[in-house]
Structure 1
Amino acid sequence: MTTVIDALRAAALVHGDRTAFVGRDAIAYGDFYRRVRHWAQRFARAGLARGERVAIWAPKSDLFVTAIYATMESGAAYVPLDGAQPAERGRKIVASAEPAILVTDRERFDALAGDLPASLRLVLLLDGEGGDWPVLMAGVETDVVAPLHETAARAASLPEPARVGPDDIAAILFTSGSTGMPKGVQISYKNLNRFIGWAVEEFELTANDVLVNHAGFHFDLSTFDLFAAATVGAAVWIVRENEQRDIYALVNGLSQHRATTLYCVPSLLTMLASSGALTPAISARLERVLFAGEPFPIKHLRTLAKQLPPTCALYNLYGPTETNVCTFHKVRPSDLEQERPIPIGLPLPEQIAMVIDGEGRPVEKDGEIGELIVAGDCVTAGYFNRIDPANHDNHRTGRHATGDLVTRENGLLYYCGRKDRMLKVNGNRVELGEIEAALSRHPAILEAAAIGVVTETGQTLAAFYSVRPGAAPPGAIEIKRHCGAWLPRYMIPHLARHLDALPKNANGKIDYLALRQVAEHAIAGPGLHRTAPAMAS
């Protein structure tokens, strides 16, 4: 079996002089793979074994990608963390991942406050001076990237590249958890091979392409950017965190790097199209624009389509992290004439998409709504060190219940919403329970509830809370500050409101329907405190 790490090895041989990364991260495939080998050598000296984990918590850069590939070269699984997330959440993920190696920088290392998992044997630091890092705990080494990067090891001392099988875990991507604890989705090489192999063929990628890596490496969208590019020897532009929300930095990069392929969430494409900056000169070389993670409001999709070359293909890609991409739809002119969101389409080849009703029976008639169940090689191996009661039996049989409600029309699947309390905000998965758990940590808050309200521009997160007797209700700025210490930026509520008591239904549980009505009324007029909106990171 040829895997995504084999693709990098082949690229170093066949496309060694071609550019792997453009811009400030510019490096050729041959030089990049040599760097990967040297990092893998250092990992081997720390005793990294096949199947262990390397946690990577750092800003986006070519060094982050080096750590990803060095982990794969060693037969281990990489665990990428959002570089911009709060320290408390980062500590939870590092502890849950039980890594043998941690790759990070001084700022994030300090944020761990010495709270390191017992599994750790090496901390590799992306900045700092050699020699000024104390021994952290018995058996844990420290090293810095500078000498590791600059010192070329002898070829004879480099370890043999690890050979992995289809069921070996390549990555663990942590997503929002309903209990307030992020959960790690295990991505196997089989999962990646299914998606990447299809994508390279469907999009007709070649070594002449330049792919834009906008998504964070903790986001499953990034697997396409990295691994599809290496498969064909194409180049990648890594969009840094400070450029992700800067429209003019994005359009300048598209032009400067002559990008051919852009894959990101609809909210970013909406901003891009609405800015007026996506001129014919900027978009001229784009051959394909792919989007995923949330529904694309049709009027904004029309605006985008008008600003792209007639030859540029538009694709809607669908799938939760547990399946990566499992269905797709190439946008047709007729789709843009409708007033509803475009379909999520058909399953990838050899994958199965089933629609079932509340009793588990197949939904066969067009127009009837049911839950989407996916089966095939795209389905991941469940969660790391965690059994999900809702999907345990499914995962054992290679299936995943998405929780998404869909309907079929003329053979195509259409997304209709969610059956639980998980939603997507700018393509990021958000469990409302995790927001509620963060709000409840505020010393003044007695009860908290969070809901999502669909508006013309996407999901709006609204929070409601009551306070303990005698406590002063926190205002919008305080709510934002508090949530920012526990949640990534995209999970901070846009709207917040203090209530004397949260409404309850006949069973004594929080009445979310009543809160939704309050939120919808307030969005249309004054009433809720607003916090700053958040873009995907």
Structure 2
Amino acid sequence: MSRLEEIIENTAKVFPHNKAIEDYEGNAIDYSSLETNIKRVSNNFQNIGIKPSQSVSFILSKNVDSILCLLAVLHSECNYIPIDELSPPKRQISVIVESRCTALLFRETSVDSQLLESLPTARVHKNFLGDISLAFFNWENHSDDFASKNLATILFTSGSTGIPKGVCLKHENMLPFIRWSKNITNLTEQSRVISIAPLHFDLSVYDIFSTLMSGGCVYLLPAKEAKNPMLISMLLEKWSITHIYTTPTMLKLIIQYGKVEKYNQTHLKNIIFAGEQMPVETIQNVINTWPDGNYFNFYGPTETNVITHYQVDTSLPIENPIPIGIECPYAKCKILIDNVLYFVEPHRSGELVACGESMFDQYKNASSEHVFYLDETGNKWYKTGDSVEINGNGQIIYKGRLNRMVKRHGYRVELDEIAKAMSTLDEVSDAAVIFADEKLVAFYTDSNFNISEIEIRKHLGDLLPVYMIPDKFVKILELPKSSNHKIDYQKLNSLLDE
């Protein structure tokens, strides 16, 4: 197997009548029907002009038809670009423009009416599949150097320049994780996996592809419903869920607000978490809530997918902090100290770098040279930007970020992107953002000092996803600067304590 679409072909031969997908509305499809419909939709793509190697983006809520479209895009030897349906239209347009995608799949009820008017839309095929329409774009002077049948997806993440960066992942980058994660998390044809992560979040790769490789069923939650811990708790019982893959924050919310004691969740045996550091208190609550489970900590940036893992041993005292563990079999990790590579050995600390089959090659719309370390043999190592140390057992411990990118609710957030968005307001002359006590705090200067926090929030809401909107705004007369005339972020942190 060398391509993602072959997953369905293989599983349909072994488990044709197993339920493959069920969505929140109750629509369901088995593997045999899924394979048949993928081929039908793929033929329809080709008949209206979709060609191999092209990029097809989509703004779709998760249901059977949207996953069918995604899989048909892959079957057409194209790549898919998922766009956050809850992001403001300007953000969605930015991703489409940066991707220079051939076409966009969308539902008219869920996109802004002016979105297509703001883009070089050539033609629109309404109701291409049910209520899903397909728009084609005509980009001027566009030659796609990235066109390749080997490209599977482009996942856009926060960019420090203020423009989202597109991480290009090939089939060969994604399959090693899919195979490995299926086995290590005990996925079988009896498994029932709840899909909480949106499709533009790399956790969805496990939900969709690892589950479908196993012959189990993936249960889809749309983005709005996926924010409701009470609903998720109820669905764990209703759908007899066996596997959940989400962030520590979401697990904490389910336990706090999901009234789990009301529901029978004894089927839940495999709890996988990633995207941010797992607090010891939260993992203890997870174990107390679902005591018969297996508990996995996955770690890895979008550029590499998961590269380290740790399984919590409940027979031993819980380690503090929870390790991100050891490298996955398809990845190699080293420690970068003063521009020199060292092996992962006890008591070393530095920046975690990685290479291997799952590592991306390049960004769609930005240079990637600065994110790689080139060793003396010419091998490229991805610099994660994460500070780590190795404990006495040889396990990797996450210590924090080395740069201005943080993780919030599992999402990557470039703090400078928020500051740049604030600075597009005429009334804001300067802005800086820090991350303190798990909160985004924005400092800004205003020559007239008359713009309100409500106005700033509204402006940012038009440009950024909800998870990038600061929790707190602080007006100051002048941003503190260091001796080299750069913003003094340490001083900004100290201002919060005053």
Distance 1:465 1:508 in 2: 17
> Structure 1's 398 and 364: CA in aligned 2 closer, same or farther, altered over 3 A?
closer
> Structure 1's 250 and 494: CA in aligned 2 closer, same or farther, altered over 3 A?
same
> Cα deviations across residues 6-48 of structure 1 (Å, max 9, x unaligned)?
0112223332221112242322222222222222112112332
Partner amino acid, structure 2, of 1:495: K
Percent identity between matched residues is 29
* Comparing 215-224 and 436-445, the one that deviates more: 436-445
Distance 1:397 1:295 in 2: 29
Which residue among 413, 436, 443 is the counterpart of 2:426?
Answer: 443
**Which residue number corresponds to residue 116 of structure 1?**
119
Measured after TM superposition, the shift of residue 443 of structure 1 is: 2.1
Distance 1:503 1:135 in 2: 48
> Cα deviations across residues 336-359 of structure 1 (Å, max 9, x unaligned)?
534x22000011114211011133
> Cα deviations across residues 416-460 of structure 1 (Å, max 9, x unaligned)?
11110001000000001110111111221000101111x3xxx21
Distance 1:134 1:249 in 2: 32
> Structure 1's 186 and 122: CA in aligned 2 closer, same or farther, altered over 3 A?
farther
Measured after TM superposition, the shift of residue 276 of structure 1 is: 5.9
Distance 2:406 2:131 in 1: 43
> Structure 1's 480 and 447: CA in aligned 2 closer, same or farther, altered over 3 A?
same
**Which residue number corresponds to residue 204 of structure 2?**
222
How does 1:85-484 map onto structure 2 within 5 Å? 85-106=87-108, 107-108=110-111, 110-117=113-120, 168-275=150-257, 277-279=259-261, 281-310=263-292, 312-333=293-314, 336-338=317-319, 340-362=320-342, 366-391=346-371, 397-409=379-391, 410-453=393-436, 455=437, 459-467=438-446, 469-475=447-453, 477-484=454-461
Contact 1:244 1:250 in 2 (8 A): yes
**Which residue number corresponds to residue 41 of structure 2?**
39
> Cα deviations across residues 106-154 of structure 1 (Å, max 9, x unaligned)?
2426241412247x66656579989xx9998889xxxxxxxxxxxxxxx
Contact 1:46 1:122 in 2 (8 A): no
Compute the TM-score of the two structures, normalised by the length of structure 2.
0.91
Contact 1:76 1:169 in 2 (8 A): yes
Contact 1:4 1:189 in 2 (8 A): yes
Contact 1:283 1:309 in 2 (8 A): no
> Cα deviations across residues 196-225 of structure 1 (Å, max 9, x unaligned)?
111112122111100110000000000001
* Comparing 396-405 and 184-193, the one that deviates more: 396-405
**Which residue number corresponds to residue 48 of structure 1?**
50
Partner amino acid, structure 1, of 2:312: V
> Structure 1's 13 and 46: CA in aligned 2 closer, same or farther, altered over 3 A?
same
Which residue among 50, 66, 69 is the counterpart of 2:68?
Answer: 66
- What is the Cα-based RMSD across aligned positions, in Å? 2.6
Distance 1:50 1:363 in 2: 42
Contact 1:301 1:336 in 2 (8 A): no
Measured after TM superposition, the shift of residue 169 of structure 1 is: 1.0
Partner amino acid, structure 1, of 2:445: S
> Structure 1's 190 and 128: CA in aligned 2 closer, same or farther, altered over 3 A?
closer
Partner amino acid, structure 2, of 1:42: N
Which SS does the other structure have where 1:241 is aligned? coil
Partner amino acid, structure 2, of 1:184: G
Contact 1:210 1:235 in 2 (8 A): yes
How does 1:511-526 map onto structure 2 within 5 Å? 511-519=488-496, 521=497
> Structure 1's 281 and 449: CA in aligned 2 closer, same or farther, altered over 3 A?
same
> Cα deviations across residues 460-491 of structure 1 (Å, max 9, x unaligned)?
11100001x3351322x222211111000000
> Structure 1's 122 and 71: CA in aligned 2 closer, same or farther, altered over 3 A?
farther
> Structure 1's 276 and 7: CA in aligned 2 closer, same or farther, altered over 3 A?
closer
Distance 2:344 2:37 in 1: 53
> Structure 1's 479 and 40: CA in aligned 2 closer, same or farther, altered over 3 A?
same
Compute the TM-score of the two structures, normalised by the length of structure 1.
0.85
Contact 1:292 1:427 in 2 (8 A): yes
**Which residue number corresponds to residue 499 of structure 1?**
476
- What residue ranges of structure 2 are gaps of 5+ in the alignment? 140-147
Measured after TM superposition, the shift of residue 277 of structure 1 is: 1.7
Distance 1:204 1:361 in 2: 35
Contact 1:363 1:370 in 2 (8 A): no
* Comparing 270-279 and 350-359, the one that deviates more: 270-279
